[in-house]
Structure 1
Amino acid sequence: MMRSKLTRRVVMIAGGALALLGLWRKAWAVDLAEAKSAGQLGERIDGFVGVVSADAPPEVRALAGEINAGRRAEYAAIAKRQGVALEVVAQLAGEKLVQRAGPGEWILDADGRWLQR
């Protein structure tokens, strides 16, 4: 019984994180999509974007920083409402974002390696 309640809560947290991320991300969608398709940015399992290419231009690195700052703020708000740690929300969102990565996009695996879908 306790496990079932916890599972439902985790699913609600993950769903809420992705819904808010979807709304916030619309402003960055074109730039993020372009950077992902160019192989410069990818999704990390911790819920944040990462710089894939060592030679990524400063603009791409700045974009990653801005996106991650926005994600961190959204995760913090969700975590506060749900009474859980920010890392829990970020990890759940990260798992979903990695699962949703499209063909050709880069994801950072649990061992710290970038893999192309």
Structure 2
Amino acid sequence: MNMTKIRILLAGLILALSLPVMAMNLQQAMAALSETKSQGLVGEKPDGYLGVVQSTEKSEAVVKLINDARRAEYSRLARQNDIAVADVEAIAGQKAIEKTAVGHFILIDGNWVRKR
């Protein structure tokens, strides 16, 4: 993958993660994401998606809605840049874990750990 495609992909990914969402339920999930991360209910995974750390109705809903939106955006970015979805997911996962606040959960080698 050449550097231009990587830059375009990263710019699109950053934009996608920061865009306001369209559906009301998804908007509510995005609004609840920070709180659910702070409560230790959800965390970031290396595959670019959220995972449920502690199962509650709220954490399950937040993860499903946000992951569905991420999956659609990753597919769009992959098509647009003629790269594999798995490559987009890996880059997104790395960026999400890097941006995760200290004390929030990340999935490392199959185990949920608090980021230090």
Structure-1-length-normalised TM-score: 0.84
Give the match for residue 36 of structure 1.
Answer: 37
Shift of 1:24: 4.3
Q: Which residue pairs with 2:14 in the alignment? A: 18
Distance 1:73 1:24, change over 3 A: farther
Q: Which residue of 2 aligns with 1:113?
A: 111
Once residues 17 and 43 of structure 1 are traced to their aligned partners in structure 2, the CA distance between those partners, rounded to angstroms, is: 15
Write out aligned runs for 1:1-117 (5 A).
6-24=2-20, 27=27, 28-53=29-54, 56-109=55-108, 111-117=109-115
Q: Equivalents in 2 of 1:30, 1:59: separation in Å?
A: 12
Aligned AA (1:72)? R
Which stretches in structure 1 are left out of the alignment for 5+ residues?
none
Count of aligned pairs: 110
Task: Output the aligned Cα RMSD.
Answer: 1.8
Contact 2:46–2:97 at 8 Å: present in 1 too?
yes
- Aligned partners of 2:45 and 2:70: how far apart in 1? 12
TM-score (norm 2): 0.85
Q: SS at 1:32's partner residue?
A: helix
| Identical positions, percent | 32
Q: Residue 21 of structure 1 contacts residue 74 of structure 1 at CA under 8 Å; is this kept in 2?
A: no
Secondary structure in 1 aligned to 2:44? strand
Label 1:97 to 1:19 Cα distance change in 2 as closer, same or farther (>3 A): same
Stretches of structure 2 lacking an aligned partner (at least 5 in a row): none
